[in-house]
Amino acid sequence: MKSAKIWVALGLLGMGAASAQADDINGWYAGAGVGQSRSNFNNAGIAAGVGSAATAISSSSNDTAYKLFGGYKFNPNFAIEGGYFDLGKFGLSSATPALNGSLKVNGWNLDALGILPISEKFSFFGRLGLQDAYTRDSFVGTGVTNASPSNSEINYDAGLGIQYDITPAAEVRGEWETYRINDGISGRSNINVYSVSLVFPFGSAPKPAAAPAPAPAAPAPRAVEAPVAAPEKLTLSAGSLFDFDKADVKPEGKKSLDKLATDLQSVNYDAISVTGHTDRIGTDEYNMKLSVRRAESVKKYLVDAHGIAPTKIFTTGKGKTDPVTKPGECKGKKATKKLIECLQPDRRVVVEVSGTKK
């Protein structure tokens, strides 16, 4: 009962962490994997634990393993993942004295994944977490006194793998994992799993923010009206607003937005459009998400710091689809310092205002 309570608490903690970030980046995914498991049980200790005097023991230590999982990718370098695993069925036997037995292992896991992108398609990852493995044993034979032992215990699991993005909607993984389990008789041992998995991101491609509703027809211009006081179109460098590959507004970026908000105080405006852009470094999917997050950060600051009505600010992200630099102007694909500096104009946030001077 205590193990169950701990497991439920860990699950709720992981779900709560994912929910807290759900508004920033939509990175839910699900998947399934199959592979081979290899156990290293203490066969002599197991035989003695069930009451058998068998010593010449043969065993089957390999079986098919599978898993079903789901997770949330917070950013390109971190994810939380949980699911169900079945490590298979392992046997041992002896002719003199007679002994036949099997051990089945399955359970649930909750892991943290650290991810290291190495190209637009490939990435390495490592996992470390907790799992609740349930081991069920069954034995028959001469002298057996403990025929059906079992054990459920929370312990660690860990792993390393490589992932390839086939398409934005499908990924494939190759992975090694190790599970620390209790065999229910002689103690703890490890089961290693070598597997291949398919991963399916869903809802991960951000939808552009809804375009502003058409403004009501403006009344006929009055003689006292003047051109817009604030700039109709303001382009802000992402470098002045955010750190590289980040979406939190920096202090110097806040000063630029404060100036914009001050100018808006003398304007009757209908709508403010905020559009985020990125350079071409990274995947289409990631850059689209980053551009949306940056536009949303600008909106949030204008709303929170200056009380601008959120219904008047409309955000969208264009990722790397609308660069300022010309083709061939910035050579290379690897994110070197020189390439990052050359692509600086592409990383920007464009603010457009329509309205009339008060």
Could you read off the pLDDT of 267-276 as tens digits, one per residue?
888 888 999 9
Cβ neighbors of 155 (< 8 A, separation 6 or more) are 130, 131, 133, 179, 180, 181, 182, 188
**Lowest-confidence range among 33-37, 162-166, 305-309?**
305-309
Task: Take residue 113 and report the two structure tokens written for it.
Answer: 């994944």
Instruction: Report the pLDDT value the prediction gives residue 332, as an integer from 0 to 100.
Output: 82
* Partners of 32 in beta bridges: 68, 198
For the beta carbon of residue 145, count every other beta carbon within 10 angstroms: 9
Residue 263 DSSP code: H
The reply to whether 215 falls in a domain is no
Query: How many Cβ atoms sit within 10 Å of the Cβ of residue 199?
Result: 22
Say if residue 167 is in the same domain as residue 246. Answer: no
Q: Is residue 56 part of a domain?
A: yes
Q: Which domain holds residue 191?
A: 2-201
Residue 212 lies in a domain: no
Residue 236 identity: L
Residue carrying structure tokens 């104009």: 345
Same domain, 83 and 165: yes
Structurally, the chain folds into a number of domains equal to: 2
Residue 226: inside a domain, yes or no? no
One domain, residues 175 and 248: no
Per-residue pLDDT reduced to its tens digit, 133-145:
999 999 898 888 8
Identify whether residues 239 and 194 lie together within a single domain. no
Q: Of the residues 201, 224, 246, which one is the last residue of a structural domain?
A: 201
Per-residue pLDDT reduced to its tens digit, 32-83: 999 999 998 888 888 888 878 877 788 888 999 999 999 999 988 999 999 9
What CATH number has the domain bearing residue 14? 2.40.160.20
Tokens linked to 326: 């010309």
Domain final position from 157, 183, 201: 201
173 and 273 housed in the same domain:
no
In a domain, 228, yes or no: no
Cα–Cα distances (Å) from 284 to 22, 79, 277, 300, in that order, read 20, 19, 12, 24
Given a contact cutoff of 8 angstroms between Cβ atoms, the answer to whether 203 and 28 are in contact is yes
Same-domain status, 128 and 264: no
SS3 state of residue 271: strand
Q: Is the pTM of this model over 0.75?
A: no
pLDDT of amino acid 136: 93
Instruction: Compute the distance between CA of residue 15 and CA of residue 3 in angstroms, rounded to an integer.
Output: 19
196 inside domain: yes
Reduced to 3 states, what is the DSSP secondary structure of residue 281? coil
- Tell me whether the omega of the peptide bond preceding residue 219 falls within 30 degrees of 0, making it cis: no
Can you give the CATH number for the domain in which 273 is found? Answer: 3.30.1330.60
d(CA 166, CA 283): 12
pLDDT at 14 exceeding the cut of 50: no
Q: Are residues 197 and 241 in the same domain?
A: no
Where a domain ends, among 185, 201, 217?
Answer: 201
Q: Which amino acid is at 210?
A: A
Q: Same domain for 12 and 109?
A: yes
The answer to whether the CB of 292 falls within 8 A of the CB of 279 is no
Question: DSSP of 303-338, one letter per residue?
Answer: HHHH---GGGEEEEE-TTSS-SSPTTTS--SS--HH
Residues 239 and 317 in one domain: yes
Residues 193 and 243 placed together within one structural domain of the fold: no
Could you say which DSSP state residue 344 is in?
A: G
Mean pLDDT of 178-186: 90
State how far the Cα of 114 lies from the Cα of 313, in Å rounded to an integer.
Answer: 35
User: Is residue 8 located within the same domain as residue 119?
Assistant: yes
| Residue 222 is assigned to a structural domain of this protein | no
Q: In terms of domains, do 251 and 103 share one?
A: no
Alpha-helical (H) ranges within the chain are: 2-21, 43-49, 238-241, 251-264, 284-306, 337-342
Specify if 237 maps to a domain: yes
